[in-house]
Structures are given as structure tokens and as C-alpha cells.
Amino acid sequence: MELVLPNFLEKRAQISPAKMAIKTETSSITFEQLFTRSKELAYKIASFGIRKGDYVSIYMENSLNLMELIFALKNIGCITVLHNTRLTVEELTYQVKDSDSKIIITDEEKCSLLQEPWNHSFVYSFSTIDNTVKYEEVPIQHEFNLSDTDTIMYTSGTTGFPKGVKQTYGNHYWSATASALNLGIREDDCWLIAVPLFHISGLSILMRGVIYGMEVVLHTKFDPKKVNKAIRSEKVTIISVVTTMLSKLVDELGEESYPTSFRCMLAGGGPVPLSMLERCHEKNIPVVQTYGMTETCSQIVTLSATDAISKVGSSGKALFPCQLKIVVDGVEQGPNSPGEIVVKGPNVTTGYLHRASFEDGWLYTGDIGYLDDEGFLYVLDRRSDLIISGGENIYPAEIESVLQSHPDVIDSGVTGVEDEKWGEVPNAFVVLKSGAKTTKEDIMNFLYDRLAKYKIPKRIMFVDTLPRNATNKLQRRKLKDLLHQNGAN
């Protein structure tokens, strides 16, 4: 029999009606108010012909409206397709067509931008829907079938064409549960969302808020000053960050510190350089590393707070009740032997839109890592970015991590370039702090002291910026184009 649970928000509104659900800079809303509002919005959306089972695309920045809309669509029984707002119209067109969405709901400012490729009966601004006087009282979904698809998110396309990841109600439920079994839930918990809601990092916080009955604070954009203020004086206890956010927060914090009530800076989405982790430990910032992806509906491996110092650099162990193994050519590897990270769990997607489901539920992540003797995962890099030089495996992320520990380096990217003798050799692109006098020779000497000889980049190029995608992730395959650009010298 299919597992069915009550509508998450309706249930939460019954249990904790008066508890604060969401706070933004200008407003706040309780769980009961959120549910009432999501019902009204559901009826308004239904008046535009939207029914259970329809795919609805959302192209909106973080806002309270977006959060309300997300729950309104669940009330109708729609599948919500969340798009990155930094996509170009062409990229969005591809995803909307691929997901066969019935309408696109967008912010007012973006609405006119999107009319061109489509038409007026297809793209609606949120305010058009909210301001309608029409009302169609479709049945509210009082129960969710856990195997039904709730949301679709396209992977960020760091390594190729984006694929629509199906996230079921069960995936969201189990993801929130798995996180709680590791980090715990405290009465005073308050999780700050300063990452986009169209990414699983942001959406998963909203889902946890409703499932746990926890307050979430929403920032429309990441502003290190505002985030530090929220942590230092507005009772935020947990925040999710990616590496670039982490370093900006630490810089902004300066000599100040966080209160002891602040218990978790959950850092994921990409490798965190060791030097950054050490800097955080020195400043008593409770960084908890995590590894996850769109396909695992947020975290699947997270370091517990107690292991944070002894296992620095590790992403931790697979959360309860998830499984993880390291595989090379179909063979499971023992400790300290790198291979592809393969995961399974109730939070793992059943598959991509229009593609076959995964066999036995095991997801091949395309990432390389190894487990230490005690079963802690160390993520090395993406398989597609691996450089094989004279038979040795070189992980660009390791070289970037060392480069970034240089005081004058603010960003770096490493990629393999063909080489007659070695097959491939690493090349490094470095962004220096403005006004820095460091030379390429200085950087080389710095690397010689810290890396094995075969890992030393053959060339170092100073550039102004590095190619990053809409998720702000480094696009290593585009680094090669940089070789031919004028900026490289």
C-alpha cells in the first residue's frame, strides 16, 4: 500500500497554529495564517484553469509570496517546477518546455521579459493571480501520497545539460527527518534562508520549518552584514551556506563573534577549502560540513557537530537511514580507496523527468570520494573534472583549496590541459586581491611547499573573474576558453 501522510502545512497549522512560521524583513506570518493564505491562493490559481496533476513553473526571487505559492500549489495537487532566476530566457524556455508546464508564474518585473517567447495566457505575474477577484474552490489535498512528485528542480548544469530532478513528498519528508536525526531539533531553533528557494538548499529549509514546526527567517538576497546581524541579534540558530557565502560572512564578522545560541553553519554545495574550515574553528564558528545534491533533496552526508573538529575536511557519514558506498567499475571499494560516490535512501530521487528510474534505488552521483577507516566520507571532486597525468589522479579541487589558502588569492580554478608527455597536466587560473603584488613565481613557490610535484600546475594565469554558472559554481569546462582570452596573461 502507498504511504500517505496528511497535508504537511494543514497538519502543522492544526498542531501549532499560533507559532511563527516565517519572518521576513518587513512581515511575519504564523502557521495558521500561512495555511489560510495558501488555501486562498490555491482557489485563485485554480480560477486560471489549473488543476490537480498540472505542472506549474515558477520563476521568482525569494519572497514571502513565493513561499505561500509553493504551499498553494501543493493544496491543489500541482507539481511545482522551480527555475533558477539567473537563467537566460533561452535556458528557461528549454526547462519549461521539457517539464510541459501549463503556466509560468513570475515576479512582476520579469513578466514583460517573458511575454516575447510565449503569450499572455501562459505567463502570469504573481500579482495578477493574487489580485484576481475570481475564485474557484477546487478540493484541497488533505493528504499527500509520499511517492507522488511534489517539486521538480533542474540540476544546475555544471557538468552538462540540465535534467529535471523529481522530488517526491516522501523525498522532502525523509530529507527533513534525516537532518533532524543528525542535528536535532530545539525549541528555539530558527533557520535562516539566505540561499535561493529555487534551489534545494533553500526549499529544504522551508519544508523543515513546516515539518518541525520551526520558525524560518527569509532574506531575499544574501547580504553578509544582514546575515551576521540576524545571527548576532535576531536569534537565528542555524543557517545554510555555500563556500563563497561562508568566506564573506567570516570577513564581515571581523573581530566580532557569534552568540553561543548560534549552533550550526551548515556548509555544502561544493568543497570548502581546509584553510577556511580552520579559520572558522579558530573563531569558534560552528561550521558543519555537508554533502548533498538536488537528487538527494538536500543533505545525504553530514558531519555531526561532535566530529567537526577531529574530522575536519570530511563531509561526515550518510545520514540515518541513508546508505553510501564507493564504487569503481562495479566493485565496492574498501577504506581509503577513491571511487564514485553511490547513494541510496528515501530522500533520493526516483529519477529524472522523462527518464527511467534508478535500478535498486542506488544513485551514481558522478562525484569521486573515499571513506576513511571509520567510514567518514571525503569528497574529492567530480569525476568529469578529474585530471589524469602520467597515470596519477589529480583532483582540481585539491589544488584550488591550496591556492585559496594563499593570502592574496581570492578565487581560483584548475583544469586539465592536453600534454604530449603526461597526457594531461593541470593549469591554474587565479584571481588576485586588487592591488596584490604577488607574482606567478611566488604562487608556484607557495604550491611547491604544499603539493606533490605532479600536482603542480604547468601554467598559472591571472584573470579578473572565473566562469561560474547561475548557481555560482565554477564551470571548469569553460576554463579552457579562458586560455585564449585577452584577460589571461
Q: Which residue is nearest to Mg ion (CB)?
A: 155
138 vs 327, beta carbon nearer ligand ATP = 327
Q: Does 155 bind Mg ion (CB under 5 A)?
A: yes
Pick from 446, 449, 426: nearest CA to 436: 446
How many CB atoms are closer than 10 A to CB 400? 24
Site membership for ligand ATP, residue 401 (CB under 6 A): no
Name the DSSP class of 270: S
457 binds, among Mg ion, ligand ATP, none (CB under 5 to 8 A by kind): none
| Residue among 62, 101, 365, 427 that touches ligand ATP (CB under 6 A) | 365
From the list Mg ion, ligand ATP, none, pick the one residue 365 interacts with, judged by a Cβ distance below 5 to 8 Å according to partner type. Answer: ligand ATP
- Does 162 participate in binding ligand ATP (rule CB under 6 A)? yes
Evaluate whether 22 touches 34 at the Cβ level (below 8 Å): yes
User: If binding is defined by CB under 6 A, does position 338 make contact with ligand ATP?
Assistant: no
Residue 269 vs 413, nearer CB to Mg ion? 269
Min. distance of Cβ 247 from ligand ATP in angstroms?
A: 15
| Listed residue (18, 11, 121, 128) closest to 69, CA to CA | 128
Q: What's the CA dihedral at 190, 195, 197, 203 to 10 degrees?
A: -50
Binding map of ligand ATP across residues 237-276, x = CB under 6 A, - = no contact: -------------------------------xxxx-----
Provide the total of helices (H) and of strands (E) in the chain, helices listed first: 14, 27
Q: Which residues, other chains included, contact 431 with Cβ-Cβ below 8 Å and sequence gap of 6+?
A: 409, 410, 411, 412, 462, 463, 464, 465, 466
Q: In what order do the strands lie in the sheet with 377-382?
A: 331-332, 323-328, 339-344, 363-371, 377-382
**CB neighbours of residue 256 within 10 Å:** 9
* Alpha helix stretches (DSSP H) within 378-466: 396-403, 440-448
* Contact map string, positions 443 to 462, toward Mg ion, x by CB under 5 A: --------------------
CB of 381 to ligand ATP, least distance (A): 7
Stretch of 149-157, 204-212, 420-428, 478-486 lying at the interface with ligand ATP (CB under 6 A)? 149-157
Number of residues that bind ligand ATP (CB under 6 A): 22
Q: Which of 67, 227, 241, 293 binds ligand ATP (CB under 6 A)?
A: 293
Closer to Mg ion at the Cβ: 265 or 363?
363
Quick count: other Cβ atoms within 10 Å of Cβ 451? 17
Give the CA distances from residue 152 to residues 7, 100, 113, 282, in Å, rounded to whole numbers and listed in that order. 19, 12, 23, 40
Instruction: Kindly list the residues in this chain that would bind Mg ion in the complex (CB under 5 A).
Output: 155
Instruction: Kindly list the residues in this chain that would bind ligand ATP in the complex (CB under 6 A).
Output: 155-159, 162, 268-271, 289, 291-294, 315, 365, 367, 379, 382, 471, 473
